[in-house]
A and B are shown apart, each in its own frame.
Chain A
Amino acid sequence: METPVELAKVARGRGIIQAWRNPFRLQDAVLLFVVVTLTLFFYALNPAMLALPTVRSILAAASYPALVGLGLVMLMIAGEIDLSTGPVMGACAVFAAFLMKYAGWPGWAGAVGGLALALVVGLINSLLTVKMGAPSLVATLAVGITIRGASYMITPGVPIYPVAPEVAVVGSWRPFGLLFITVLMLAGLAVAQVVLRQTRWGAALYATGGNRVAAEQCGINTDRVKIACFMLTSLLAGCSGLLVMAQLNAGDPIIGRTLELSIITGVVLGGASFLGGRGSALGTVLGAVLIQIIKTGLILVHVDTDWHVVILGVLLATSAALDTLGRRRRV
């Protein structure tokens, strides 16, 4: 997808049929292979790996970071990063719960309020990065620290409980036998996959990340692209946080704690690069599932939880290293 010829084809609006001929990249197929192999490996060590409750829990737990990852992968393709996704999840849940409990807002209005907060945070992130020229790493980190502290301040010690009853209803939805978040994530995956590979917007994303100056010369407003990506990422993070709240039936600021690292690892495993210009939606979801498989598998094989973070960190570093080393050789 990222070759100049294919990008030009999509940008011109023609060549959709040609682009359709190969909807799955080789990288995604490899990732799928790794997912299957790893699952079988853990199954050999502990048959509970393929038990239905395990599989469902993996899918459910992976849906939250996967949903956020769909937004984050677009942002990373455009060449930026967002470390505030975890805090945004918690802050939106807390804010929505706050509105519902202390301001008496109905469930849907609280949710809208939470999402509005997410959009505002995304806007702040984007303005700091795009207009003020701050490196996105530092800007999103600073914003993340601020709103995490703020969400802990609003909930002194105790999570906000209970929230409006409609929230629990959403938490118990089971469309197609899956959690609502999983359905949302799969729908998002389909939309993102199409957008990234078939539309001009997707081509603009890859162009912005691949060579910003050249993209500007082509008439792409890279500032607007990045602002939209930041706001989308925060919006999805807020969505994810609200849905966690629906499961917990409480607005807890601990939602999303340490999750931003898992989200980024999933996205990088799925093929995104910190240097921008690479990434795919399917890869992101597979990456999130892979992370969850590893986490669950490690628990089933009785590996000490202290080692989990280490293993994930090494995984993140290794996949990023493979990416940067591979890119260098191509130059």
Chain B
Amino acid sequence: MGVNGMTKGRPAPFSGRRPGIIRRIASVPEVAVATAAAMAFALFTALDRSMLMPVNLNMIVTRSSFIGFAALGMSVLMLVGEIDFSAGAAATFAGLTYSLLARSGWSEATSLIGALLSAAAIGWLNSFLVLEVGLPSFLATLSTYIVVSGVMPFVYGSPEAFGRSSLAGLGAPSPLFGAPWAFIVFLGAVAIGEIIIRRTRLGPLLWSTGANPQAAEAAGINTAAVKVACFMFCSVCAAIGGFLLIATMSLAPAYGEEWQVWVPAIAIIGGASLRGGSGSLLCALLGTLLLLIIRTGLGAANLGNNAQGVVVGGILVAALVVDGVRRKAKNHRTV
């Protein structure tokens, strides 16, 4: 078998030329999601002008601040290759802990901290089930969700409204085009998170733990500790998201079940892969906006909740296909 036989007649895949500027821009996941969001917005505006009404825009921006915060935490967790279906339970649990503590006379700040700690405890429980017991992460977090949301009504009773707290001020419009302060908080968190991940050692720490845990361990990274921290971070972000929701909507609806599916969906659409090692916070932001544009657009066009399921599910499938195609293209380059 000569040299020619080994190449199987295909030209060498590495051509030595940089791919064109268009292809390089298109390969950035943020661009893809931002483009999709812009296109969706244009589409819905074309279908029904009411999309441009301030109340709808306000709804998009407000809702994205709390569900986006939870997606933030989820993106980080997916960076290390795990998923969390208990986000909604952590948020509700934290909310109930806060009202319990506040009713018992603790100061507001300490009640908040206590609530966030309780959410971190749920995150720790998730990590324990995954790392010590060895359950796959979706099952571990799903069980946590079922148990926590099943037990909560008996232990805690019903949640209390937060109207009295200073958090309610977060719903007020800020100087930024009148978007609520909660959105500013969200944007700030995304900005800070992106800076931390891209500029400090934390970024490569997370990426390597997710993309190749064995190599990370060999390099001296304590992958178990990283994963525990990420699980706790995800639950705390979900809890913060829950507080933002209560602050902006000034009521405490049961948001567990909805979040269970939408939050990981946003993270995946935003480029996170369940195999770990990819995803970014900016993508979480853009993915959240995309999802909410779709939901609000479908609502404005009176297409109802079920259309949302189809559209979001379809986008998720499309995102998976795109991810698969991109991965295949990457594998074909032998350099």
Interface residues in chain A, defined as those with a beta carbon under 8 Å from any beta carbon in chain B: 124, 128, 131-135, 137-139, 141-150, 152-153, 274-275, 306-307, 309-310, 312-314, 316-317, 320-321, 324-325, 327-328
Contact = CB atoms under 8 A, between A and B. Distances in A.
A95 to B, nearest CB: 14
Contacts of A314: 143, 146-147
A316 B313 CA distance: 26
Interface string B136-154: 1011101100110011010
Contact of A142 (B129, B304, B316, B325): B316
B187 to A, nearest CB: 28
Nearest to B150: A310
Given A137-B138, A321-B133, A324-B134, A142 B323 contact: no
Given A316-B143, A325-B133, 12 more contacts: A128-B317, A128-B320, A128-B324, A133-B323, A133-B324, A137-B274, A142-B320, A145-B309, A274-B139, A275-B136, A313-B142, A317-B135
A128 B322 CA distance: 11
A306 B254 CA distance: 15
A306 B151 CA distance: 9
Contact of A135 (B265, B274, B313): B274
Contacts of B314: 146
Given A132-B320, A310-B147, A317-B135, A148 B309 contact: yes
B328 interface: yes
Given A135-B274, A317-B140, A149 B150 contact: no
A316 B265 contact: no
Nearest to A253: B306
B146 A310 contact: yes
Nearest to A134: B320
Interface string B302-317: 0011111111111011
A313 B150 contact: yes
Given A135-B275, A274-B139, A314-B143, A146 B134 contact: no
Contacts of A147: 313
Interface in B285-315: 304-314
B327 interface: yes
B261 interface: yes
Contacts of A148: 309, 313
B309 A313 contact: no
B96 interface: no
Contact of B134 (A138, A145, A321): A321
B80 interface: no
B261 A145 contact: yes
A152 B311 CA distance: 13
Contacts of B305: 152
B150 A145 contact: no
Contacts of B76: none
A307 B320 contact: no
16 contacts: A134-B323, A135-B274, A138-B264, A145-B309, A146-B316, A153-B307, A153-B310, A274-B136, A309-B146, A313-B142, A314-B146, A317-B139, A317-B143, A320-B135, A320-B139, A321-B134
Contacts of B143: 313-314, 316-317
Given A325-B133, A325-B134, A306 B146 contact: no
Q: Is the interface of A mostly helix, strand, loop or mixed?
A: helix
A134 B324 contact: yes
A310 B143 CA distance: 8
A311 B132 CA distance: 22
Interface of B: 83, 129, 133-136, 138-140, 142-143, 146-147, 150-151, 153, 261, 264-265, 268, 274-275, 304-314, 316-317, 320-321, 323-325, 327-328
Contact of B147 (A142, A143, A149, A313): A313
Contacts of B325: 132
B231 to A, nearest CB: 16
Contact of B313 (A142, A313, A320, A321): A142
A320 B134 CA distance: 9
Find the residue from B138, B147, B274, B317 having the highest chain A CB count within 10 A.
B317
A132 B273 CA distance: 12
A83 to B, nearest CB: 9
Contacts of B310: 146, 149-150, 153
A153 B313 CA distance: 14
A141 B261 contact: yes
Contacts of B308: 149
A85 B133 CA distance: 27
Nearest to B154: A306
A134 B310 CA distance: 19
A132 B150 contact: no
B320 A316 contact: no
B129 A138 contact: no
Given A145-B312, A149-B308, A321-B135, A310 B321 contact: no
Contact of A138 (B133, B304, B320): B320
B147 A145 contact: no
A56 B213 CA distance: 51
A137 B268 CA distance: 12
A142 B139 contact: no
A321 B140 CA distance: 9
Contacts of B327: 133
A80 to B, nearest CB: 12
B321 A146 contact: no
A149 B317 contact: no
Contacts of B304: 153
B29 to A, nearest CB: 15
Contact of A131 (B142, B264, B324): B324
A312 B146 CA distance: 9
A307 B150 contact: yes
Q: Which 5 A-B pairs have the closest CB atoms?
A: A149-B309, A132-B324, A146-B313, A313-B146, A310-B150
Contact of A143 (B153, B268, B313): B313
Contacts of B135: 274, 317, 320-321, 324
